[in-house]
Structure 1
Amino acid sequence: MDDVALYAPMTYDESGYPRYAFPANHPAHGDEDYTERRNRIAHLGAQHVYGTPAPEIDYHERDHETWRVIQRSLAERHDEYAATDVVKWAAELALPADRVPQLNEVTERLTAMTGFGLQPAVGFVPIEEFYGVQADRRFYAAQFIRHHSQPLFSPEADVVHELVGHAPALGNPKVAELYRLTGEAVRRVAEPRTIELISRIFWFTLEYGVIEEGGQFRAYGAGLLSSFGELERFREADIRPLDLKGMATTEYDITDYQHVLFAGRSIDHVHEFFSEFLRTVDDEDPDRIGVSF
């Protein structure tokens, strides 16, 4: 299965209206009602104008029930597997547990905390754009929620991934700075391979990062925090110390559980490591680190 087809199975018809065509191994395959609702959500997002409120989504009761199931399941796993700081960030953000939040209400909270805001992501956002807008304290976020048949699994980054995984970190000033610095770094460099380098370090920190805490590894990355399965499995991975070359040269499969992770000694250690890289990275770095893409 082609990764883009699985994670962004959307095209536009002749009139410019979004159309999803879910592959056979996607949970939503064959569900015409869900597909049409996804099309409408994508259409609303595509019409969004930056600087205006994100479109309000008319989530169904089935969507809210899916959110409730996920919230209950992940809350238990976070107590056991998430970094203590993450639990605090989530409590400060205080997402509703009984319904799917709207991007606007989460943006209002984030703006007051760190100045960040969420804007609708439609289909596949080019990597330079996805990271680049973070320099302006903006973050692309999906508005759809995964299919109800598999509430604890999604082959795509959905609103659960965005709001449970990324939003609490975006509400913490120290970690939000890493997102902003990522955007500045991507805008500063010119070579695609340097952007790929930045993306890989981002993947192994803000997406799939862990830290050592109390003699155990605990998760802080969005991809781990928003996935029931990843939280159950991540301690079985080959967990290595933070290392730029290791992160840059380690291949990963976005359709599978992660088999290699990198751990910091603390959130402060991760911040020091990643922020130093982001402030100094330039187009000579791939050669200096000794990687080729």
Structure 2
Amino acid sequence: MAQEEYQRPEGTADDWTVPQSWSRYTDVEHATWDRLFERQSKMLPGRVAPEFLAGLDVLRMSKPGIPDFDELNRRLTDLTGWSVVAVPGLVPDEVFFEHLANRRFVAGRFIRTPEQLDYLQEPDIFHDVFGHVPLLSNPVFADYMEAYGKGGQRAAGAGAIDKLSRLYWYTVEFGLIRSREGMRIYGAGIVSSYGESLFALDDASPNRIAFDLKRVMQTKYRIDDYQQNYFVIDSFEDLLRETIETDFGPLYAELEGAADIEIETILRSDNVYTHGTQQYARSRDAELTA
């Protein structure tokens, strides 16, 4: 999700889309996708929400090579009415929300280099397609993403995009979910990262806190490393219902006068599953300031 203003690159359509140009991917780029896919798909069972694995299966994403959006969309659109559109990189908020509100998911068409397997600052096609698209085949999560896009359009008019962006960050990108088998990951930022897929569930460092809409929208986050907080939903149905039933206008007005919550803070009102040590974040910060 964009956080800044961008100039539309030459050669893009008015909605910032570009052809995927699938035939231009090199053997090295396809091999990089395959390497990333194999690594993640082997370690995610037992860690990721079953709806994600079902999406990988029904969309036939195990086929070797970078997915062709035309082929992928034939399956995805039949399932939930969503499609994937290629963009040259990050897009402005209003463009992002417009696409989501109309069931189009924007995806970067480039892929990281073999030297960047474990960290990439800007989302690439592996993060966008492997991380996000499988859950778009789930009708409930697909409805949530559309609702978020429409909510983003309203938030722009209310000057509250910064608050709403935290909801996206702590659900779509870095969300956890409870299940009968235990806690699972579903956020694309976790699912597409080998290291964070382990860290988010197993490490003692981060806080894991029950999802609360207002709490989430007040809470800062970090963009430069693993998260210090993960918010845990009970189900996608609950997440969708709360998003649809909440009157965001009064909530934005309330948040306007409320102080932001610092990242590692635990509130008395929090339902805490894990009160993290924050050891990882503190050691990393110490390294940077040494």
Normalised-by-shorter TM-score class: 0.7 to 0.9
Residues 205-224 of structure 1: pairs in structure 2 closer than 5 A: 205-214=171-180, 216-224=182-190
2-structure distance, mates of 1:225, 1:217: 14
Aligned to 1:139, the other structure's residue is in SS state strand
Among 178, 198, 204, the residue aligned to 2:144? 178
Report deviation, 1:212: 1.5
Structure 1 runs of 4+ with >6 Å offset: 48-53
The amino acid of 2:176's aligned partner reads V
Partner of 2:33: 67
Partner of 2:92: 126
Partner of 1:154: 120
Report deviation, 1:52: 9.1
Report deviation, 1:67: 0.9
The amino acid of 1:230's aligned partner reads E
Report deviation, 1:175: 0.6
Residues 76-115 of structure 1: pairs in structure 2 closer than 5 A: 76-115=42-81
Report deviation, 1:57: 4.5
Aligned to 1:80, the other structure's residue is in SS state coil
Change (3 A) 1:49 1:248: closer
1-structure distance, mates of 2:114, 2:25: 12
2-structure distance, mates of 1:228, 1:209: 15
Partner of 1:31: none
Q: Which moved more, 1:233-242 or 1:100-109?
A: 100-109
2-structure distance, mates of 1:193, 1:49: 22
Normalised TM-score (structure 2): 0.78
**1:143 is aligned to 2:143:** no
Aligned to 2:116, the other structure's residue is in SS state coil
Partner of 2:237: 268
Change (3 A) 1:57 1:192: farther
Q: 1:116-141 CA deviation, whole Å, 9 max, x = no partner?
A: 11222223311122123211111111
Unaligned runs of 5+ in 2: 261-290
Among 281, 286, 292, the residue aligned to 2:248? 281
Partner of 1:225: 191
Unaligned runs of 5+ in 1: 18-42
| 8 Å Cα contact 1:186/1:195 also seen in 2 | yes
The amino acid of 1:87's aligned partner reads L
Change (3 A) 1:241 1:114: same
Partner of 1:32: none
Normalised TM-score (structure 1): 0.77
Percent same amino acid at aligned positions?
28
| 8 Å Cα contact 2:152/2:161 also seen in 1 | yes
Aligned length: 254
1-structure distance, mates of 2:252, 2:181: 34
CA RMSD of superposed structures (Å):
2.7
Aligned to 1:271, the other structure's residue is in SS state helix
| 8 Å Cα contact 2:17/2:87 also seen in 1 | no
Report deviation, 1:145: 0.6
| 8 Å Cα contact 2:94/2:156 also seen in 1 | no
Report deviation, 1:151: 2.2
Report deviation, 1:54: 4.5
Partner of 2:219: 250
Residues 180-195 of structure 1: pairs in structure 2 closer than 5 A: 180-191=146-157, 193-195=159-161
